[in-house]
Chains A and B, each alone.
Chain A
Amino acid sequence: MKNFRYTIIFNLLLVLFFCGFVYFQEAAAERKLQREIEFHADILAPSVWTLFTPLMEQYLTLAVKSNDYRQMQVTSQVDQNLLFYHHDLENFEKWLFDAGIIRLRKLSTPIVYKEQNIGHLKISAYNKNFYLYAYLSIVLILTSLLSWFVALLYRERKTLKIRVEEKTAELAENNQQLQNEIKERLIKEKALRESEQTFLALFDHSFQFIALLDLDCRVRKINKTALSFRDLQEKDIIGKQFWETPWWSHSEKLVQQLKDAFKIAAEGQVARFEAHSVQMREIYLDITIKPVFNEEGEVIFVIAEARDITEVRRAENELKQAQKMESVGTLAGGIAHDFNNILGGILGTLALLKLKRDKGQQLSEEKLFSSLDTITETALRAKDIVSQLLTLSRKYDLKLSQVNLYDILQNVLKIAENSFDKSISIDCQMSEQLPVKADSNSLEQVFLNLCINAAHAMTIMRSPGDAWGGELNIRVKSIYLDKQLGRKAGEYWCISIIDTGVGMDEANLKQIFVPFFTTKNKDAGTGLGLSMVYNIVKQHEGFIDVDSQPGKGSSFYIYLPICSDEKCRQVDESEVPLVSGEGLILIIDDEELIRSNAAELLEECGYQTMLAENGAQGIEIYRQQQGRVDAVLLDLVMPVMSGKETYAALKEIDPQVKVLLSSGFRQDTRVDEILAAGADGFIQKPYSFHQLSQAIGQLLN
């Protein structure tokens, strides 16, 4: 504001200067005109005196034009007009005059001649100081404008300076804030990097396969574990639909499982299933597909996790096998006793018959057939025991099918009755139709294990001095359960195995399913039995409840879904007709009995057969009969050439060869390898006539 005050003062001074200039200029002009008019009067005086008008007129004309007057008039001393000359302005100046911009200055002076006043000279002069004033005005206006401009500049400069200072301060503050933000950002970035590194470490180095999928099931991100598993590059996977990726695309079953699981996850639920693949090697994957929700609870991503549980499964199988062997060891004493009794019965009967023959005694036909029946019955009992032993020794293969719990429990009861201490009374109450979708071998293992545990609780686990013995009650009843965490709603079979053994306290009860946890002596248990039981039941979509009190015994409740589906209905093999067909079947098996039985059966069904006792012979026959052999029944385990080598050779001879693989060991990895290499089917020994006829029929059709 101070500079504007100076400017206002300066402009006032300019105005004062202008006014002063105008005043003095006007005064000077007035004086000049006064001198001029006096000069003109002096010149005109003689002419006026003589009234010589031509001369006066000439002078007036000359004076008016040369001095740019508007008018000169000579009057007498009584103001009578003597001479008058008028000159008008022209063009622009005329307009200025008419507009009042050019004004008139009027002066009058007496004409004196010989000391007499002889008249007056009057002049109307154009005051053309306007030009000077206009010029000066312009200069002053420009000067004023310049002063205002300078003042403005000064003010702007000052304002700018203030602004610059403010902005500088602001910038400094912002800079400080920015530096703080940068520091914070660096810290955050560092934290983010560390977090990202942590995340990537967890993500990429997790033992699990992890994939982030969008809602179209396309892969958004995949971890290195998954990539390294098949030696893949991220670019090969990103953007593809999850089931189109190389891990699963070979198996329609897997693809369908993934699609179903993704559908469940996309609807907001967790889907989990176990995948079994034998593409390159046998592998078990525990696959979980789970949704990721946003704050509104909407599913925005889906995470697919796959855990390679192949080793776990193998270990479990081995443990189960060991558990079976443990069970076999446990049962060996009782079985040996039974076998001795059986053998005793057979040998005794045979010895009796020999004795009578040696003595020449005539055996009646009735007595002979009675002895043979006794031997046959006793042998069949032995067969059952052997069969049960074989079952125990068989490797674990979770093969779900429609089975009857009744049969399974009957087998377990037979073993228990034959092997458990006689101080234990067994009571089993159940109906004869207990359909369930299960792996019968696994369930036998479960129930047998629980029964053995119960038996131990009532015998060897009792304190020294306590009497052995107790009651083992087995009950089966149906029950409907609502949906709860970890189980589906529906009808279940509740199999209760209740003993009156030593029981467990609460602390032990909480750990009974933990692997290697046992309350038995070191020699009596591995601690794996109940862990295996828990896993098998869970794999059957069932669950276990346990109730136990020390000194009062334990109650195990096994819940298994009732399979009421018509498809689950067990078909009596005897109801299935033999499948007839035509064609030449080459049977390659080192067991003569199996070869001959199979040949007899197939010929019974309408087929022609050729037999080979090993792989090399079979290959030779196939080569000789090339084009005629319609199918090959190939044993897996043979001397000279293994089934795998034989299959490879056959495939080399005829890539279209149809091979039905047979073995008593389905779990053998070689079976999977041959099937993966293109073998058309597998039949497990011992097979029935119906099973073989159906398998060959399906192969050829």
Chain B
Amino acid sequence: MLRKQLLLILLLLWIALPATAAEPMKIVYFDSYPPRSWLENGQMKGILVDIITEALHNRLGIPLQHEGYPWARAQAMVESGHADAFITVPTAKRKAYTVVSQEPVISFNLFISTQKNNPHLEELKQVTDIDGLKPYKLVDYHGNGFAAKRLKEFNVEWMPEVTSVYPFLNAGKADVLLVSERGIYDLNRFGYSNKLIVLPQPVYSLEFHLCIGKHSSFTDLLPQADKALREMQSEGLIKQISARYYR
């Protein structure tokens, strides 16, 4: 009996050792989503990279490998098992192939961005719910899973790149672009702030969670990750990291 238990332990060790020691956890990001994540000189940088590094590597000792891809590709890699995890809004589709952390990595609101001279500007100022945007033409980018699901029944013009949505809106080809703080960050970064405005009332709130692929060997890490994130949230570290990028 004892011999059998010993053999089982050895087997588990044989399985666990390579996962923990040899293979780092590959976390993929949208490579062009500053300041949350972006690829710069072959290195991933951004709010999400910093939070996850702190939570999983610094606090849990998990070796990490941060890789940036077009957002759809990044998701596909997790779905196909080529990557272990990504951080995003956990939609039903994503939940189908990932296990999601209970604690959010980041939380943020969505605001209405439109032209300053948009004829519906006053009407848009009165919209407080995302469903109030149905009469208007929206623009968003391909790979935005939240938008793909939530704005399914809306009049949306889909752009191939996230960076394409701003000139499209600026050209007056759409009425509304839902933006978060990151969007506002881009809008300012690309110089559209003099033509476009962001209305102050939030119309929707969102949270990014750690989603570990069901194929990944790190799914068991999720409770520890939740704990680490909770601690960072309580320590105010997450806000500090975000603020550092939005300054």
Contact = CB atoms under 8 A, between A and B. Distances in A.
B163 to A, nearest CB: 12
A77 B73 CA distance: 11
Interface residues of A, number: 13
Contact of B73 (A55, A78, A80, A118): A118
Contacts of A80: 80
B161 interface: yes
B8 interface: no
B80 A51 contact: no
Contacts of A52: 70, 72, 142-143, 160
Contacts of B80: 76, 78, 80
A47 B158 CA distance: 14
B116 interface: no
Contacts of B72: 50-53
Interface in A45-91: 47, 49-55, 76-78, 80
B161 A50 contact: yes
B158 A51 contact: no
Given A78-B82, A80-B80, A54 B73 contact: no
Interface in B147-166: 158, 160-161
B13 interface: no
B76 interface: yes
Interface string A17-53: 0000000000000000000000000000001011111
Interface in B46-74: 69-73
A55 B69 CA distance: 18
Contacts, number: 35
B82 A50 contact: no
Given A49-B73, A76-B76, A118-B73, A54 B82 contact: no
Interface residues of B, number: 13
Interface string A424-464: 00000000000000000000000000000000000000000
Nearest to A50: B70
Given A78-B82, A118-B73, A50 B143 contact: yes
B41 to A, nearest CB: 14
A567 B224 CA distance: 183
The interface centre, meaning the residue of B69, B70, B161 with most chain A CB atoms within 10 A of its CB, is B70
Contacts of A118: 73
Given A78-B82, A80-B80, A54 B142 contact: yes
Nearest to B76: A51
The interface centre, meaning the residue of A47, A52, A78 with most chain B CB atoms within 10 A of its CB, is A52
A53 B76 CA distance: 12
A50 B158 contact: no
Contacts of B142: 50, 52-54
A49 B82 contact: no
Given A49-B70, A50-B73, A55-B160, 5 more contacts: A50-B143, A51-B73, A54-B160, A76-B80, A118-B73
28 contacts: A47-B160, A49-B69, A49-B73, A50-B72, A50-B73, A50-B143, A50-B160, A50-B161, A51-B70, A51-B72, A51-B73, A51-B76, A51-B143, A52-B70, A52-B72, A52-B143, A52-B160, A53-B72, A53-B142, A54-B158, A54-B160, A55-B160, A76-B76, A76-B80, A77-B82, A78-B80, A78-B82, A80-B80
